Structure 1
Amino acid sequence: MEHFIIWMQVLFCLASCSGTIHGRLFPQTFNSRRNDGYKENYRPKLSQMKVDEKFQTRYFMQPIDHFDALYTATYKQRYLISTEYWDRHGGPIFFYTGNEGNIVWFSRNTGFMIEMAAKFRAMLVFAEHRYYGKSMPFGNQSYKDPLKMSFLTSEQALADYAKLVGHLKSSINGAHNSSVVAFGGSYGGMLAAWFRMKYPGVVDGSIAASAPIWQFTGLSSCDGAYKVITNTFERASVHCPRNIRISWDAIDELSRSESGLKFMTDELKMCSPLNSSNLSDFKNWLSETWFDLAMVEYPYPADFLQPLPAWPVKQTCLPLDTTFPSDKALISGLAKALQVYHNYTGQLSCFNISVSPSGSVGTVGWSYQSCTEMVMPSCTNGITDMFPPVNWNFTQYSQDCYKTWKVYPRQDWIKTVYGGKKIQSASNIVFSNGLLDPWSAGGVQKSISDSLVAVIISDGAHHLDLRSSNPADPPSVIQARHIEALYIKKWLEEK
């Protein structure tokens, strides 16, 4: 299960927002003076767009180390840029703070930025995070030893983004005085928030979606994410999380005999036979599945991590929405449920538990970051959640990190660098969280000030608000996007 606790960190990333933000009345209008580029009613049909064709791919030479003047080595950072909607006479720059993966993947799943660029006549920039995608400081040697990995930090990444913004403003005619709004989801949302905190002279405001900036030691409960997952499943069916909770004992009981193991292997359509040596991996695989499903409980078909139907948790819970007379009957129900996430297209003949469906998430790089500064405690208790009990053991976690990377994690460093919960001096950040999303447990769910604003999406999963508008969108995400657009307008008018 320790593997699961580390993998959970890889997958990052109350009432609906109907006129209020946690009791704070949201002003219906800001200053009546309007940004000249703002188009109130314009909304492109993103479903008809080929997102990749909108962007040019460019590279910018960055210092490998921004904080040591004696170390002068550089690398090429990839970024995507589009000026299709941009007002070339000082229109704003909308800047995506890339997270742990290929930047093209994030551009395809962040249609809200494109919609906002059309409204505000903005330049679009998607910046790739160092050590991910094609932005490798040491090429194919980047992950080969801890010394080469040591430049993989959020601080270095933010410095990359600040320097890239400066380059864009100085090299593109008409951009010198452009306002900058940062967008990001999950770890990218954390970076968007920290970008505004650390470089307020570079960034005028940030939309930080599903950003668990408080999922660190002493800031939130380690079991919060798993409570949210359980609640998301319970929302679909009361029986479903109860049966998943029972399934762990059923698996243990059947695994006591060779016939039981064979039954599970055949019924669950495993590519390799289940046995005593891989049973723990199988349970991890199951846990990852439930975690992923809660993250992507979108109201329409999507393929963010896997090709899935609308409301995939609800679909998964259909075979589990009953009482089972025996352990074998429960496993049969589980087998049908797993088909939704792992084989919705019907193309797989068996399941390989050694493969985690991570999409374009960079698991190797994030493993290193989790073992240095991004230490996000997680635990389960099997009572308030539907998972097997697992305690958070920082000592064991540190030892595992040292075995893998020859480094020990600094569990309090993020709080030192970015302030923990003492961020009142910051401004112009909207934190959005969907209550179906496990990562909301570590997010900012209450407004801190008039300019550090929390927006809750009652029917939202992982950064649903950053995705393209869809006819199936629930009212809570429509309202969230409206609020975010109003704040963007406000920030641009304050320039």
Structure 2
Amino acid sequence: MMRLFNCFFKFHKFVVLALVLFILLKEAQLFEQKHSFETRYAEVPIDHLSFSDQLVTFKIRYLVSAKYHVKDGPIFVYLGHEGDITMYAENTGFLFDIAPTFNALLAFIEHRYYGQSLPFGNRTFASAENMKYLTTAQALEDFAMIIDGLKKEFFESVTTAESYPIIAFGASYGGMLSAWLRMKYPFSIIGAISSSAPLLYLPGIANCEVFYEIVTNVFEKFGREQCVKTIKLGWDVIINLTKTKLGMDFISSTWKLCRRIRSTEDVEKLLEWLTSVYVKLALSNYHYPTDLYTPLPAYPVKVFCDKLTSSFFNDTKGLIEQFSQALEIYTNYSGKSVCNNVNSSVEDFNEVAFGYQQCTDLVMPKCSTEIDMFITKPWDYDQFSMECMKKYGVKNFFPLSPLKAFDAKSLKYYSNILFTNGNMDPYSCCSISSNISSTISAYNIIDAPHHVDLRTADVADNNYIISTRRQIVETIKQWLNMI
């Protein structure tokens, strides 16, 4: 009987998995049909930088839309970053908005080790040895190689490299990549639009406290001063309450955690999760509903703060209940979530990949002080290195590698890069915010969140966002010799 039950369970589990995969496939097909995408795969070396491994290859996924393309029209290439490329294509409507103006071909290239572009399939994250090819340098080689293939396919009549009308777009880490691609391979693209790119967010350059200070500013501006005070009060309440099993159980039940808090390690994960929720709310504080990280209402920071401060609480348990109601703005706005997966032992592959990068050549120092709304915590590089070793088995750290390869202080020697930044974007802490030269320029957007300028136009867009998009279009026209 038990064997029969186990067989039924395994069969049922297989059916559920098959159903989930079928739904995901249908959603991908609907997405491609909506935007007239063709999904392609490019064969690239696992290691561009050595002779011995160049014969070992894997496939990078990229999406191409020729819906608005006219022969010899430009190619707009979006460089993928820490996620599935379809997610970025869905949230980068600006390229679709301007493609008809330029008769442009659109290409969205997935970053190695993300989405479906996994070098070793389901063994990709099994060891540090398999992950060692996940670097910005290798990713830039992928992009340059695929762009070279697009040139050969779509510009047969073009004879000189200077004539290729290809422009790279990128947001956040992808914005860093688009700038670096122009800096390293100026013959590959004629210009780069770099949105919300923390190009200066590197050890030795950035002040570690500025990121969390801007997150706090977002909550102060779009929430209330009382909201920031309550969030700050909440840390001590949570820490003190979770010192007992009774307190752990209370928070686990009230916050609908998928797995109950049982240890100090679980508490640490809870605090890290809560920090990430505040950060993502600030990053996603758009003036209309979105679903970049999760379904959210317009101005989610304001909605969260309104919930958190909507009534008075008499004790610590009352405060925890207030937090529970407010957190549902982020965790369950769609009403479909059953529980909150805070301290799962299984991470999303995209999170694993980006965590690894932040331990190797994308080290972005963060610390918190009494000034911001987070737990006061200094930046300790030695401790950070130990955690990276424990988590990823990384033996060597290269926190300055992008700095050595692409010194942002020497930008004046490069050309045709436009940096755009929202002043309510936490990553604006470490972006290029002023003009460097006549061809390296910056445009700052008042009251704007993370890479809002690359999202599709919306009736609620303010004049600063509209003006920035016009500036991008005018800049592209200059690069294409259209004006």
Report the TM range for the smaller structure's normalisation: 0.7 to 0.9
CA gap 1:352/1:77 in 2 versus in 1, 3 angstroms: closer
Give the number of aligned pairs.
Answer: 445
Q: Distance in 2 between matches of 1:227 and 1:357?
A: 30
2:400 equivalent in structure 1: 412
Among 223, 228, 235, which residue is 1:248 paired with? 235
Task: Say which structure is richer in helix.
Answer: 2
Q: Which residue of 1 aligns with 2:43?
A: 61
User: Contact 1:219–1:420 (CA<8 Å) still a contact in 2?
Assistant: no
The one-letter code sitting in structure 2 at the alignment partner of 1:354 is: N
Going from structure 1 to structure 2, the CA distance change for 1:426 and 1:283 (only over 3 Å counts) comes to same
For 1:474 and 1:233, the matched residues in 2 are separated by 20
Give the match for residue 183 of structure 2: 197
Flag the 1:483–1:368 CA change in 2: closer, same or farther, 3 A: same
Partner Cα separation in structure 2 for residue 56 and residue 301 of structure 1: 28
Confirm or deny that 1:344 pairs with 2:333.
Answer: yes
Q: CA deviation at 1:134?
A: 1.7
1:173-188 alignment runs, 5 A limit: 176=158, 177-188=163-174
| CA displacement at 1:169 relative to structure 2 | 1.3
CA distance in 1, matches of 2:480, 2:155: 19
Change in CA separation of 1:160 and 1:266 when aligned onto 2, cut-off 3 Å: closer
Show structure 1 runs of 5+ residues with no match.
Answer: 1-47
- Counterparts of 1:80-479 in structure 2, within 5 Å, are 80-88=63-71, 90-172=72-154, 176=158, 177-235=163-221, 236-277=223-264, 278-321=266-309, 324-354=313-343, 362-381=350-369, 383-403=370-390, 404-479=392-467
Letter in 2 for 1:170: K
Cα RMSD between the aligned structures? 2.3
Shift of 1:73: 1.8
Secondary structure of 2:119's counterpart equals coil
Task: Name whichever of 134-143 and 448-457 sits farther off.
Answer: 134-143
Label 1:328 to 1:299 Cα distance change in 2 as closer, same or farther (>3 A): same
- 1:487 equivalenced with 2:475 (yes/no): yes
In structure 1, how many angstroms separate the alpha carbons of the residues matched to 2:481 and 2:466? 23
Structure 2 unaligned regions, length at least 5: 1-29
Higher relative contact order structure (alpha carbons within 8 Å, sequence separation ≥ 6): 1
Contact 2:208 2:379 (8 Å CA) reproduced: yes
1: CA distance, partners of 2:239 / 2:129: 42
Identity of aligned residues (%): 38
Instruction: Give a deviation string over 1:17-62, Cα, whole Å, max 9, x none.
Output: xxxxxxxxxxxxxxxxxxxxxxxxxxxxxxx997754210111222
SS in 2 for 1:387: coil
Over residues 112-134 of structure 1, what are the superposed CA-to-partner deviations in whole Å (9 max), with x where a residue is unaligned?
11112111111111111112122
Instruction: Report the TM-score when normalising by structure 1.
Output: 0.85
Give the 3 Å change call, closer, same or farther, for CA 141–262 of structure 1 in structure 2. closer
For residue 289 of structure 1, give the secondary structure of its aligned residue in structure 2. helix
1:415–1:463 Cα change, 3 Å = same
Q: Give the AA of the match of 1:76.
A: K
Going from structure 1 to structure 2, the CA distance change for 1:275 and 1:77 (only over 3 Å counts) comes to closer
Distance in 1 (alpha carbons) for counterparts of 2:46 and 2:426: 34
Counterpart-to-counterpart distance in 1, 2:247 and 2:136 = 47
1:230 deviation in Å?
0.4
Contact 1:433–1:455 under 8 Å retained in 2 = yes
Taking a change above 3 Å as real, the CA distance of residues 61 and 209 of structure 1, as seen in their structure-2 partners, is same
What is the deviation of 1:275?
Answer: 4.4
**Structure 2 length as normaliser, TM-score?**
0.87
* Aligned 8 A contact 1:429 1:451 in 2: yes
Distance 2:332 2:86 in 1: 25
